[in-house]
Structure 1
Amino acid sequence: MKPTLVIMAAGMASRYGSMKQIQQFGPSGETIMDYSIYDAVKAGFGKVVFIIRKDFADDFKAIFEPKLKGRIETEYVYQELDAFMGATPVPADRKKPWGTAHAILCAHNAVSGPFAVINADDFYGEDAFVKANNFLVMECREDLYGIIAYRLANTLSDHGTVSRGVIDEDANNEMVGINERLKVYRDNGQMVDEQGDTKLSIVEEAKASMNFWCFHPSIFPYIREEFAAFLGRSLNDPKAEFLIPFVADQFIKSGRGKIKVIPTNAPWFGVTYKEDAPIVQQKLNGLIGEKTYPNKLW
């Protein structure tokens, strides 16, 4: 069975200010997702599952269905606030989605084998998909998941601070945990994480999680358990989020399994701020000039 690619595209893009998931960046109108799907198909993935909001489903499908038909199987799932809440009502002041781990849970009926998870608005690069596919086919199992790791230094923005999950790994290249750094940027050439009045230095060799995960379907019942516990703790906090790094950390600490750190030399870039958009276009044009991608993907 070929692995499945799950793309999280239900976010509200609050910092960016528009629906950046379907913004066209490529010379022939390609979105960032198009490049991810192109790389995934080339690497050997057999299906793509889009996690989206129901209110922009028609526009979304109109963009992707014509160009993906006959190239890869597609399925759409919706991240709704009341999904997996049972009899618990959604608090009246809850507006934003519950978070990335809840998004994955919403895809459980669309995934039957090993799968990768990525963000819709991040460019991950060909090497990352090749390594993810190889891991999912050859190594992934109930007690061994994977994470594609990028050089933190290559994931910063020139237009503001970024939030990054810095990976802590052991001598066996297995993840020990992820340290959430909420305000990372360069200060006089040094990577720092600003915490109040304190700036903590970060080593240049640090590896970052850009939410490119490799999972076995056994993750779904585990996420469901953790989501119930999350609701018990944070139901009435309108800003609380149920995130993948937290679930991964709990998976390791519970002794249920390990997560392999899979380094990639692929370039990463994304759109956090509107000012990042021209840089993304410039980098894509550079890759096209190097013949990494054709001028028209589909």
Structure 2
Amino acid sequence: MNTTLLIMAAGIGSRFGTGIKQLEPVDDTGHIIMDYSIHDAIEAGFNHVVFIIRKDIEKEFKEVIGDRIAAICSAHNVTVDYAFQDINDIPGTLPEGRTKPWGTGQAVLAAKEVIDTPFIVINADDYYGKEGFKAVHEYLVNGGESCMAGFVLKNTLSDNGGVTRGICKMDEDNNLTEVVETKNIVKTADGAEVDGVAVDVHSLVSMNMWGLTPDFLDVLEDGFKEFFQKEVPGNPQKAEYLIPIFIGELLEQGKMSVKVLKTNDTWYGMTYHEDVAAVKDSFKKMLENGLYKADLFADL
């Protein structure tokens, strides 16, 4: 069965070079976090990669990332496509002065024409580990429709400051009932807290790793039209169409069911500049422990 890895990379800076966190090498051979995600997805069985980028960064993106990944993918019978997120690609008129992108919902929608298989969606600059890709792939190829990798909160915290996480509420069958957006979760000596109140570090959180089907894209498109009618007029400069918020609304209305698949892997991201050194150190240890080869794609 064919399955797609959808990578949201439109947020990569328009000027490539230093300071773009998605392009910060995390090992001695120059690989970036995205390389590891692509490796783990192919290893799990995904055989189609779609990059969501902006048209204005297409040339640089292909030079720095795309062409290299396309060559690797072609050697492993994996196809590569591009989708372009465009601020003007909307079911209405662009509000005057609007420069802010429309959010992850519109980003995923941009790929509608190039996706006809079940797919996993991830952020370009997050490291998710192998377990989530395997669990989501297995769920999708066995006929599952919608799922989410649930990360253990303690495995997603930063040593360098507070983070925002969507804490998951589930029923007894591990179906998602609600995602509670929780801001400024700070790591403490014995766990974590928000505004001085302890938070259960064993809670599962959403890190924007969703398993979905092409049918969802039709629902997402209808939701975008509704968002434009209801949300944009009241906040034309900043309203955002976000996947977790939209899925939360569908859950509330009983229009969707999402299975939460627990992963014990550690999530790494570069929320703070100071996180870079810690992330590099973690990749060094993973390479030393044999979790990956220095020639990253050699074991596929």
Fold shared per TM-score above 0.5: yes
Q: Secondary structure at 1:131's aligned position in 2?
A: helix
2:215 aligned residue (202, 205, 218): 218
**Equivalent residue for 1:175?**
176
Q: Does the aligned pair in 2 maintain the 1:114–1:140 contact within 8 Å?
A: no
Q: Tell me how far apart the structure 2 counterparts of residues 259 and 246 of structure 1 sit (CA, whole Å).
A: 13
Instruction: Give CA-to-partner distance per residue, 1:122-181, whole Å, 9 cap, x none.
Output: 11111111111101101323xxx1000001111111122111111111111100010001
Q: Tell me how far apart the structure 2 counterparts of residues 296 and 27 of structure 1 sit (CA, whole Å).
A: 11
Q: For residues 190 and 125 of structure 1, do their structure 2 counterparts lie closer, same or farther at Cα, with a shift above 3 Å needed?
A: closer
Alignment coverage as a number of residue pairs: 286
1:68 aligned residue (67, 70, 79): 70
**Equivalent residue for 1:289?**
288
**Equivalent residue for 2:30?**
29
Q: Does 1:202 align with 2:203?
A: no
Aligned 1:89-238 pairs, distance under 5 A: 89-141=93-145, 145-187=146-188, 189-194=190-195, 199-235=196-232, 236-238=235-237
Instruction: Give CA-to-partner distance per residue, 1:7-58, whole Å, 9 cap, x none.
Output: 1111257xxx943222222221111010000011111101010111222111
Q: Does 1:81 align with 2:87?
A: yes
Q: Tell me how far apart the structure 1 counterparts of residues 157 and 94 of structure 2 sit (CA, whole Å).
A: 35
Task: Report the alpha carbon displacement of residue 184 of structure 1 after superposing the two structures with TM.
Answer: 1.2
Q: Tell me how far apart the structure 2 counterparts of residues 191 and 267 of structure 1 sit (CA, whole Å).
A: 16
Instruction: Give CA-to-partner distance per residue, 1:170-198, whole Å, 9 cap, x none.
Output: 1111000100012111245342224xxxx
TM-score, L = length of structure 2: 0.90
Q: Secondary structure at 1:123's aligned position in 2?
A: coil
Q: Does the aligned pair in 1 maintain the 2:154–2:191 contact within 8 Å?
A: no
**Equivalent residue for 2:252?**
253
Q: Does the aligned pair in 2 maintain the 1:115–1:215 contact within 8 Å?
A: yes
Q: Secondary structure at 1:122's aligned position in 2?
A: coil
Q: Tell me how far apart the structure 1 counterparts of residues 153 and 143 of structure 2 sit (CA, whole Å).
A: 25
Q: Tell me how far apart the structure 2 counterparts of residues 64 and 297 of structure 1 sit (CA, whole Å).
A: 16
Task: Report the alpha carbon displacement of residue 99 of structure 1 after superposing the two structures with TM.
Answer: 0.7
Q: Tell me how far apart the structure 2 counterparts of residues 238 and 192 of structure 1 sit (CA, whole Å).
A: 33
Q: Tell me how far apart the structure 2 counterparts of residues 113 and 34 of structure 1 sit (CA, whole Å).
A: 22
**Equivalent residue for 1:41?**
42
- Tell me the amino acid that sits aligned with residue 163 of structure 2: V
Q: Tell me how far apart the structure 1 counterparts of residues 96 and 190 of structure 2 sit (CA, whole Å).
A: 45
TM-score, L = length of structure 1: 0.91
Q: Tell me how large the CA RMSD over aligned residues is.
A: 1.7
Greater alpha carbon shift after TM alignment, 283-292 vs 270-279? 270-279
- 5+ long unaligned stretches in structure 1: none
Q: Tell me how far apart the structure 1 counterparts of residues 26 and 201 of structure 2 sit (CA, whole Å).
A: 30
Q: Does the aligned pair in 2 maintain the 1:124–1:268 contact within 8 Å?
A: yes
Instruction: Give CA-to-partner distance per residue, 1:210-231, whole Å, 9 cap, x none.
Output: 1100001111111112112222
Greater alpha carbon shift after TM alignment, 38-47 vs 57-66? 57-66
Task: Report the alpha carbon displacement of residue 254 of structure 1 after superposing the two structures with TM.
Answer: 2.5
Q: Does the aligned pair in 2 maintain the 1:154–1:267 contact within 8 Å?
A: yes
Q: Does the aligned pair in 2 maintain the 1:251–1:257 contact within 8 Å?
A: yes
Q: Tell me how far apart the structure 2 counterparts of residues 108 and 222 of structure 1 sit (CA, whole Å).
A: 11
- Tell me the amino acid that sits aligned with residue 147 of structure 2: G
Q: For residues 189 and 92 of structure 1, do their structure 2 counterparts lie closer, same or farther at Cα, with a shift above 3 Å needed?
A: farther
Task: Report the alpha carbon displacement of residue 118 of structure 1 after superposing the two structures with TM.
Answer: 0.5
Task: Report the alpha carbon displacement of residue 296 of structure 1 after superposing the two structures with TM.
Answer: 2.1
Q: Tell me how far apart the structure 2 counterparts of residues 227 and 5 of structure 1 sit (CA, whole Å).
A: 22
